[in-house]
Amino acid sequence: MSEAIASSSSRSELEERFSEVRDCSMRIAARLSPEDALVQSMPDASPTKWHLAHTTWFFETVILSKLPRYKAFDPAFNYLFNSYYNAVGPRHPRPQRGLITRPSLEQVFAYREYVDAAMLEAIGEADRIDDIVLGLNHEQQHQELMLTDIKHAFFQNPTLPVFGWDERHACRVDQSDWSRQQGGLVEVGATSNRTEFAFDNERPRHQVLLQPYKIATNTVTNGEFAAFIDDGGYRRPEFWLSDGWSAVQSEGWSSPLYWLGGDRGEWTVFTLGGEHPLNLAAPVQHVSFFEAAAFAAWAGKRLPTEFEWEAASRDFAFGSVWEWTRSSYDPYPGFKTFEGMAAEYNGKFMVGQMVLRGGSIATPRGHARSSYRNFFPPNARWQFSGIRLADDWE
Amino acid sequence: MSEAIASSSSRSELEERFSEVRDCSMRIAARLSPEDALVQSMPDASPTKWHLAHTTWFFETVILSKLPRYKAFDPAFNYLFNSYYNAVGPRHPRPQRGLITRPSLEQVFAYREYVDAAMLEAIGEADRIDDIVLGLNHEQQHQELMLTDIKHAFFQNPTLPVFGWDERHACRVDQSDWSRQQGGLVEVGATSNRTEFAFDNERPRHQVLLQPYKIATNTVTNGEFAAFIDDGGYRRPEFWLSDGWSAVQSEGWSSPLYWLGGDRGEWTVFTLGGEHPLNLAAPVQHVSFFEAAAFAAWAGKRLPTEFEWEAASRDFAFGSVWEWTRSSYDPYPGFKTFEGMAAEYNGKFMVGQMVLRGGSIATPRGHARSSYRNFFPPNARWQFSGIRLADDWE
Amino acid sequence: MSEAIASSSSRSELEERFSEVRDCSMRIAARLSPEDALVQSMPDASPTKWHLAHTTWFFETVILSKLPRYKAFDPAFNYLFNSYYNAVGPRHPRPQRGLITRPSLEQVFAYREYVDAAMLEAIGEADRIDDIVLGLNHEQQHQELMLTDIKHAFFQNPTLPVFGWDERHACRVDQSDWSRQQGGLVEVGATSNRTEFAFDNERPRHQVLLQPYKIATNTVTNGEFAAFIDDGGYRRPEFWLSDGWSAVQSEGWSSPLYWLGGDRGEWTVFTLGGEHPLNLAAPVQHVSFFEAAAFAAWAGKRLPTEFEWEAASRDFAFGSVWEWTRSSYDPYPGFKTFEGMAAEYNGKFMVGQMVLRGGSIATPRGHARSSYRNFFPPNARWQFSGIRLADDWE
Amino acid sequence: MSEAIASSSSRSELEERFSEVRDCSMRIAARLSPEDALVQSMPDASPTKWHLAHTTWFFETVILSKLPRYKAFDPAFNYLFNSYYNAVGPRHPRPQRGLITRPSLEQVFAYREYVDAAMLEAIGEADRIDDIVLGLNHEQQHQELMLTDIKHAFFQNPTLPVFGWDERHACRVDQSDWSRQQGGLVEVGATSNRTEFAFDNERPRHQVLLQPYKIATNTVTNGEFAAFIDDGGYRRPEFWLSDGWSAVQSEGWSSPLYWLGGDRGEWTVFTLGGEHPLNLAAPVQHVSFFEAAAFAAWAGKRLPTEFEWEAASRDFAFGSVWEWTRSSYDPYPGFKTFEGMAAEYNGKFMVGQMVLRGGSIATPRGHARSSYRNFFPPNARWQFSGIRLADDWE
C-alpha cells in the first residue's frame, strides 16, 4: 500500500486520517468514568483503558521504537500493554487486565498524547506507511471491541447503566429475498496491488470453485428469531450441533444475549442506549455461531460459506451485523503472515474459530469491506453478530 | 450401494462379511478381563464393554427394531448404549459410561450373540443392505477406538499392563522425498455411484481448485520429532498456535503421549505390547494437531490441506498413522446427512475439529480409503495420529 | 490393649476374631461382580477391590513386612494399595483407584488368602497384638465404606441395580423425648487402661466442663424431615449456614441423598435392597452436616456437641445412623498419634471436618462405642448419617 | 452495652467516636484512585469502594431505615451493598463486586456524607446505641480488610504500586521464651455486663477446663520461618495436614505470601509501603493455618487452642499479627446471635474456619481485645496472620 498512498495521497492526508482514527477512540472513552474504563467482565473482554493503551503501544513499538531519537513514555508499558505477555515468573501470579489499576486512565490519556505527537512528527518523514496504516486498522478493530466489551460489562451491573449510544440507527430490515448465484470459478480475497489496506488473513487473492447457490438478500430479523424461540428452538436438540447443544445446556441459553423479560411475556433488549422494547423488524444480534446454525437448521436452510458470502456480496447490503458463515477460519493457500512485529497478527489464531463477514453498526466507517475476515469461537455472543441464510440451488 | 452389492455379490458374501467384522471386535475383547472392559480413563474414551454393546445396539435399532417379529434383548439397553443420551432427569445424576457395571461383560456377549443370530436371519431377506453396511463400517470405527481407548486406560495403571498386540509391524519409514503436485481443478470425495461404501461426510464428490504444492512422500519419524524436542520445540512459543501454546502449558506437554523416560536421557514408548525403546525410524504417533502444526512450523513447512492430501494420495503410501491436515472439519458443498436414524452420524460434529486422513495400524483392514475423513479436536493425542509435511511450490 | 488381651484372652480367641473380621469383608464382596468391585463413582469413594486389597496391605505392611522370613505377595501392591500415594512422577498421570483394572479381583482374593495364612501363623507367635487389633478395626471401618461406596455407585446406574442387603432392619423410631443432663465436669474419651481398643483420636480421656442441656432420646425421622422439606426447608436461606446454602444451590439439593420421586408426590428411597417407599417412622439417613444443622435451626433447636452426646449416651440407644454433632474435629488435649506406620492414621485429617457419633446399620457389630469419633466434611451425604437434636436447658 | 454507655459517657462522646471511626475509613480511601477503589483481585477480597459503601449501608439499614422521616439515599444501594445478596434472577448473571463501576467512588463519598449527617442527628436522640456501636465495630473490621485487600490487589500489578503505609512500625520481636500455665478451670469469653463492646461470637463468658501447658512469649519470626523453608519445609509432607499438603501442591506454595526473590537467594517482601528486604527479626506474616501448623510440627511443638491463648494472654504482648490457633470456629455453649438485622453477623460462618486471636498492625486501635475471635478458612494467607507456638507441660 505504501506506494499507492505515497503516490495518490499527500502526507497531510495520512496525518488527517491518523488524527481522525485516534480521536474516535477518545470519543468512546469520553463517555466512561475511570472505573468504567478499568472493568473486565469476562476473560474474553478487555478494559477500555487497556484498549486505549494497547493501540497506542502498537504505534510506539512498531514505529516509534525504531526511531533513534524516540524515548519511551514509560518502559513498563511495553510489558503491561503487550497483548500476548505471559506470566511474570514462577512466584508472581498472572496479572489480569482488569486488575491493573495503575497507570490511571489519566496517565493513559497522557500516554496517547505523547505518542500521537511523536507519530505526527514521524508521519512527516516516515517511509513505514504500511505499518502506520496497519496500526490504524488495528485501532479500528479495537474500537468495535471497546463498544462490545463495555456493553457486556454494563450488563453485569444490576442497575443496567446507560452508555448513551444509540444502537437503533440501523434497525429496519426489508423483506428478504433470495439472490441466485451461478458459482463457478470466482476470485476471493484482497488484491495485492496495495491500493487498499487488507489484513494478512485476506490474502493472497485466489480462485475458488463454487457450486450454484442461493443467498438471502437480508439478514434474519428479531421477529424471525423470536419465532424460532416460540417453536421451542432452544429446547430441541435436533437443530443443534453437538457442541452447540452442550452450550445451550451448560450456559442456560434460551434467547440471544441481552434479551430480557421473556419470562414476562414481552421481550426487551439491553443496548448501549439503555433497555428498550425489542424491535421485531431489526436484525437479530448477539447470537453465537451455534445459534445461527440452529436457526438455519430450523428454517430448513443453511449458512453460506465465507466464499459464497464474498462472491455474492455486491448483490446485497451489509454492515448492520457481523454475519456468521459456515466456514472455519483456515489459512488461504499461500498465506504469509505480516513480517516483523506484526507477524503474530492473525495466523496464530487459525484454529477453533468460525469466520464472520460484513461488519456491524459498531464497526468504524471505512473499516468494513467484502474481503474482511472477522473470526470468533463458535460460542461467542457478545459481538454484534447475526445471521444470513443460504441454500443449495437445486 | 445396495444395488451394487445386490448385483455383484451374493447374500452369503454379506453374511460372511458381517461375521468377519463382528468377530474382530470379539477378538479384541478376548484379551481383556471384565474389569479392563469396564474402565473409562477420560471423558473422550469409552469402555470396551460399551463399544461392544453400542455397535450391537446400532444393528438392533437401525435394522432389527423395524422388523415386526423382533423382540428386544433388553429394553433398558436402548437407553444405556445409545451414544447420545442425556441426563435421566433432574434428580438423577448423569451416568458416566465407566460407572455402568451392570449389565456385565458376559451379558453383553450374550446380547451380541442374540443380535448376531437375528441379523444373520435378517440378512437373508433384507432389503436394507445399505444400513447393514453402514453398521459394519460403524463397528470398524469403534474397533480402532477400542484399541486407542484401552491403550490410554492401561497407561494410567502404574504397572503398565501388557495388552499383547504388536504395534511394531509398520514401523519403518523410508527416507522422505517431495512429490510435486500441479494442483488445478481436481475431484475429491467419494463417488456416488455406490459401488463402494463411504460415509455421508465424504460426499458429494466435487471439484476443488488447488494451487501447485509439494507433499512429503513419507510421514515424520520419531527421530525427526525428537530433534524438534531437542531443539526446545516444546518451550518455544513462536512455533505454536495460540491455543496450542496454552495446551502445552496447561497440560504440561513435553513429548508425544506415551513417550517415557525423557528425563533419564533415553526415550521408551508405552505400546499395546508393553514398554519398548523408541524406534527412531518409525513414524511419530500420538501427537495432537497442535504438535503437528508446531513441528511443521519448526521445520519451515506446513501441513497439507485435506484436499491436497487426497489429490496426491496415489503418489505415496499411507495407513501407518492418521495424518493431521490443515483443514477444519467443514461440510462439503451440497452435503446431505444420511437419512433416518443415522442422520446424526457425522454432521453434528462439524465444528471445532480438524480433519485427519489416511488410517493407522489400528484401522481394520479394508476400512481405510483416500476419501475417508477422520476428525478429532486439535488437542486429541490418544489416537494413532502423526504428521506429513507439505509446502507451497514456488 | 496387648496386656489385657494377653491376660484375658487366648491367642486362639484372637485368631478367631481375625478370621471373623476378614470373612465379613469377603461376604460383602461375594455379592459383587468383578466390574462392580472396580467402579469408583466419585473421588471420595473407593472401589470394593481397593478396600479389599488396602485392608490386606495394612496387615502386610504393619505386621508381616517386619518378619524376617516373610516374602511380599507382589512388591507393586505396596504402591498400588497404599492409601496416601502421590503421583508417580512428572510424566505419569496420577492414577485413580477406579482405573486400576489389574490386578484383577481374583488376584486380590488370592492376595487376601496369602496374607491371611501368614497372619494366622504370625498371631501364634506375635508380640504385636496392638497392631493386629488396630488392623482389624481398620478393616471394620472399611467394611462400612464398602457398603456406602457401592450404594453410591449403583445409584449412578439408571437401572438401579439391587445389591441385596436389607437396610430396613433398624427402621422404626419411638416417639422422641428430652433427656435432661446436668452437665458439669464430665469425663470423655477412651480410657488408657487398654482393656478395650480405641483409636488415637479418642484419647487421652480427659475432663470437659458442660453446661446443663437437653438431648433427644431418639433421632429425627424421615417423617419429621419430610415436614422440613414441605415447609420449604431447602428454599429458605435463614435456616442454613452460609456454606450450606451455597451447597444447596451449587449441588441442587432438595432432599436427602437417595430420595426419589418427590416430583411425583410420593417419596421412595434407593437402598442396597432396591427402591422402596419411604418409611416415615425410620430415622432419616444420608443427610449432610449442613442439612442436619438447617433442620435443627428450622426446629428451633440445635445439634449436640460431641461431648454432650458422649456424656448422655448411656441415656439413649444409638447405632442406627451416624449422628452429626456441632463439633469440629479437633485434637484432644495431649493428643498423640499412634507410633510407627500408623502415625498418619487420624491426626492429619483434623481440619475442615465435623464429628459424627454413634454408628449405623452398616457399622460392623462390636465396632461402635460411645467414645468413637467418626468424621466427614460438612457436605458429605453418602454415609448413613442422621440427626439427633439438643437444646440448652434454661 | 447501651446502659453502660448511657451512664458512663455522654452522647457527645458517641458522636466523637462515630466521626473518628468514619474518618479513618476515608483516610484509607484518600490514598486510592477511583480505579484502585474498584478492583477485586480474588473472590475472597472486596473493592475498597464496596467496603466504604457497605459499612455505610449497615448504618442506613440497621438504624436510619427505622426512623420514620429518613429517606434512603438511593434505593438501589440496598441491593448493591448488602453483603449477602444472591443472583438477581435466572436471566441475569450474578454480579461480582469488582464489576460494579457505577455508582462511582464520588457517589459513594456523597452517600457516606449523607448517611453521616443523618446518623449524627440520630445519635442525638437515639435509644439504639447498641446497634450504633456494633456498626462502628463492623466498620473497624472492614478497615483492616481494606488494607489486606488493597495489598493483595496491588500485588497483582507487575509494577508493584506503593500504597504508602509503613508496615514496619511493629517489626522487632524479642527472644521468645516459654510461659508456663497451670490451666484448670478458667473463664473465657466476653462478660455480659455490657461495659465493653463484644461480638456475639465472644459470648457467653463461660468456664473451660485446661490441662497445664506452655505458650511462647513471642510470635515466630521471619528468620525462624526462613529456617523452616531452608530445611525443606514446603517439600516434606510429614509436617503437613493432609489438606495442607494438597494446598502446597495445587497452589505451588514455597514461602509465605508476598515473599519475593527466594530464587535469587535473598528474600524481599512486598508491603503496603513497597518492596523491602526481609526483616528476619520481625514476626512472620501472611501464612495460612496450614503453614502455621506445619511450622509447629517441624519445630516439634503445636499451636495453642483459642482458650489456652486467651487464658495466657495477659502474660505476653500481642497485636502485631493475628495468631492462628488450633481451634475450629465453633459456637460457645449457650451462643445466641444478635437480634434483628444483625442476626446473621457471625453464626452462619461457623463451619470450616479456624480461630485467630490477637490483632495485627492493620487492626484499628481499640478494636483488639483478648476475647476477640477472628476467623478465616485454613488456606487464607492474605490477612496479617502469623504464628505463636505452644506445647504440653509434661
pLDDT in tens, B280-327: 999 999 999 999 999 999 999 999 999 999 999 999 999 999 999 999
Q: What is the pLDDT of residue C202?
A: 94
Q: Could you tell me if residue C251 is left (phi over 0), alpha (psi between -120 and 50 degrees) or otherwise beta? A: alpha
Q: What is the ipTM of this complex?
A: 0.89
Q: What is the pLDDT of residue A264?
A: 72
Residue D160 at interface with chain A, using a CB cutoff of 8 Å: no
Which candidate from B104, B156, B254 shows the least CB-CB separation from C95? Answer: B156
Distance of CA D13 to the CA centre of its chain: 26
- DSSP H or E stretch at residue C139: helix C129-156
Contact B199, B8 (CB under 8 A): no
Q: What angle do CA C373, D305, C328 make, to 5 degrees?
A: 30
Q: What is the pLDDT of residue D12?
A: 87
Q: Which of B81, B101, B150 to mutate to test the interface with C (most CBs of C within 10 A)?
A: B101
pLDDT, mean of each 10-residue run, chain A (394 residues):
46 92 96 97 94 96 93 92 56 72 97 97 84 94 95 92 80 80 96 81 95 97 97 94 93 94 84 93 96 97 98 95 97 82 71 96 90 96 97 88
Pick the range with the lowest mean pLDDT from B156-160, B369-373, C47-51.
B156-160
Residues in chain D closer than 8 A to C237 (CB atoms): 86
The pLDDT-based confidence of D92 (bands split at 50, 70, 90) is very low
Distance of CA D323 to the CA centre of its chain: 11
Q: What are phi and psi of D366, to 5 degrees?
A: 85, -5
Residue D336 at interface with chain C, using a CB cutoff of 8 Å: no
Q: Which of D42, D99, D254 to mutate to test the interface with A (most CBs of A within 10 A)?
A: D99
Across D254-277, average pLDDT: 90
- d(CA C287, CA C388) in angstroms, rounded, equals 12
Burial readout B210-227 (b: 16 or more C-beta within 10 A, e: otherwise): bbebbbbbbbbbbebbbe
- d(CA A35, CA A38) in angstroms, rounded, equals 5
On the question of pLDDT at B169 being above 60, the answer is no
What digits encode the pLDDT tens for the residues B113-154?
999 999 999 998 767 888 999 999 999 999 999 999 999 999
Q: What average pLDDT is seen over chain B?
A: 89
In sequence order, the β-bridge partners of residue B270 are: B275
- d(CA C357, CA A293) in angstroms, rounded, equals 57
Q: What is the pLDDT of residue B338?
A: 72
Q: Taking Cα atoms as reference points, which of A174, A208, A220, A214 lies closest to residue A387?
A: A220
Can you read off the three cell numbers belonging to residue B20? Answer: 468377519
Across B10-17, average pLDDT: 89
Across D310-328, average pLDDT: 96
- DSSP H or E stretch at residue D310: helix D306-312
Contact A227, A298 (CB under 8 A): no
Residue B82 at interface with chain C, using a CB cutoff of 8 Å: no
On the question of pLDDT at B89 being above 60, the answer is no
Across B365-373, average pLDDT: 91
Contact B91, B85 (CB under 8 A): no
On the question of pLDDT at D113 being above 70, the answer is yes
- d(CA B353, CA B343) in angstroms, rounded, equals 19
What digits encode the pLDDT tens for the residues D11-45?
889 999 999 999 999 999 999 999 999 999 999 99
User: 3-state SS string over A91-113?
Assistant: CECCCCHHHCCCCCHHHHHHHHH
Q: What is the pLDDT of residue A163?
A: 95
Residue D358 at interface with chain A, using a CB cutoff of 8 Å: no
Q: Within 13 Å and on the Cβ side, how many CA atoms surround C129?
A: 23
What digits encode the pLDDT tens for the residues D238-265?
999 999 999 999 899 999 999 998 777 7
Name which residue leads in pLDDT, B6 or D52: D52
Instruction: Note the pTM of the prediction, 2 decimals.
Output: 0.89
Report yes or no on chains A and C touching (3+ CB pairs under 8 A): no
Residue B331 at interface with chain A, using a CB cutoff of 8 Å: yes
Q: What is the pLDDT of residue A74?
A: 96
Q: B107: distance to nearest CA of chain C, Å?
A: 12
Instruction: Identify the residue whose cell numbers are 440427626.
Output: C387
* Strand bridging mode C178-181 / A390-392: unpaired
Contact B383, B376 (CB under 8 A): yes
Residue C244 at interface with chain D, using a CB cutoff of 8 Å: yes
Q: What is the pLDDT of residue C124?
A: 82
Listed by number, the residues of chain A in 254-313 with a beta carbon closer than 8 Å to a beta carbon of chain D are 254-255, 260, 262-263
Can you read off the three cell numbers belonging to residue B151? Answer: 491403550
The pLDDT-based confidence of B9 (bands split at 50, 70, 90) is low
The counts of H helices and E strands in chain D are 10, 12
H helix runs in chain A, sequence order: 2-8, 11-29, 48-62, 75-80, 105-123, 129-156, 222-230, 242-251, 289-298, 306-312
Q: Which residue of D has its CA nearest to C325?
A: D330
Q: Which residue of A has its CA nearest to B345?
A: A242
Q: What is the pLDDT of residue B128?
A: 84
- d(CA A187, CA A193) in angstroms, rounded, equals 15
Q: Within 13 Å and on the Cβ side, how many CA atoms surround C344?
A: 13
Q: What angle do CA B378, B383, B388 make, to 5 degrees?
A: 70
Q: Which residue of B has its CA nearest to C105?
A: B35
- d(CA B376, CA B360) in angstroms, rounded, equals 14
- d(CA D386, CA D374) in angstroms, rounded, equals 13
Q: Could you tell me if residue D286 is left (phi over 0), alpha (psi between -120 and 50 degrees) or otherwise beta? A: left
Residue B79 at interface with chain C, using a CB cutoff of 8 Å: yes
- d(CA A91, CA D155) in angstroms, rounded, equals 11
Which candidate from C207, C290, C348 shows the least CB-CB separation from D209? Answer: C207
The pLDDT-based confidence of B347 (bands split at 50, 70, 90) is confident
Q: C242: distance to nearest CA of chain D, Å?
A: 5
Q: Which residue of C has its CA nearest to D305?
A: C333
Residue A93 at interface with chain D, using a CB cutoff of 8 Å: yes
**DSSP secondary structure code for residue D283 in this structure:** B
Tell the burial category of B356 from Cβ atoms under 10 Å away from its Cβ (0-12, 13-18, 19+).
buried
Can you read off the three cell numbers belonging to residue C259? Answer: 430420595
Is the Cβ pair D33, A91 closer than 8 Å? no
Tell the burial category of B304 from Cβ atoms under 10 Å away from its Cβ (0-12, 13-18, 19+).
buried
Burial readout B279-292 (b: 16 or more C-beta within 10 A, e: otherwise): beebbbbbbbbbbb
Residues with pLDDT less than 70, chain C: 1-9, 84-95, 126, 168-173, 193-194, 339-345
Residues in chain D closer than 8 A to A101 (CB atoms): 33, 35-36, 38-39, 153-154, 157, 161
Contact B203, B227 (CB under 8 A): no
- d(CA C5, CA C23) in angstroms, rounded, equals 22
Residue C150 at interface with chain B, using a CB cutoff of 8 Å: no
DSSP string, A198-210: --GGG-S-EEEEE
Largest pairwise CA distance in chain C: 66
On the question of pLDDT at B4 being above 60, the answer is no
CB atoms within 10 A of CB C255: 22
- DSSP H or E stretch at residue C105: helix C105-123
| C-alpha to C-alpha distances, D318 to B92, B179, C161, D197, D357, nearest whole angstrom | 53, 80, 60, 19, 9
- d(CA B28, CA C148) in angstroms, rounded, equals 34
What digits encode the pLDDT tens for the residues B25-76?
999 999 999 999 999 999 999 999 999 999 999 999 999 999 999 999 999 9
Residue B250 at interface with chain C, using a CB cutoff of 8 Å: no
- d(CA C374, CA B394) in angstroms, rounded, equals 75
Instruction: Identify the residue whose cell numbers are 492409601.
Output: C83
Sheet holding B374-376, edge to edge: B374-376, B354-357, B322-328, B385-386
Instruction: Identify the residue whose cell numbers are 474498584.
Output: D38
Is the Cβ pair B242, A352 closer than 8 Å? no
Q: What angle do CA A81, A83, A86 make, to 5 degrees?
A: 100
Tell the burial category of B209 from Cβ atoms under 10 Å away from its Cβ (0-12, 13-18, 19+).
middle
Q: Could you tell me if residue B256 is left (phi over 0), alpha (psi between -120 and 50 degrees) or otherwise beta? A: beta
Q: Taking Cα atoms as reference points, which of B357, B376, B360, B291 lies closest to residue B321?
A: B360
Can you read off the three cell numbers belonging to residue D140? Answer: 473497624
Can you read off the three cell numbers belonging to residue C175? Answer: 416417639
On the question of pLDDT at D304 being above 80, the answer is yes
Residues in chain D closer than 8 A to C326 (CB atoms): 330-331
End-to-end CA distance of chain D: give it in Å, rounded. Answer: 42
Instruction: Identify the residue whose cell numbers are 490474502.
Output: A203
**DSSP secondary structure code for residue A239 in this structure:** G
- d(CA D2, CA C391) in angstroms, rounded, equals 29
Which candidate from C86, C208, C351 shows the least CB-CB separation from D241? Answer: C351
Residue B158 at interface with chain C, using a CB cutoff of 8 Å: yes
Instruction: Identify the residue whose cell numbers are 440407644.
Output: C317
Q: What is the pLDDT of residue C365?
A: 85
Tell the burial category of D12 from Cβ atoms under 10 Å away from its Cβ (0-12, 13-18, 19+).
exposed
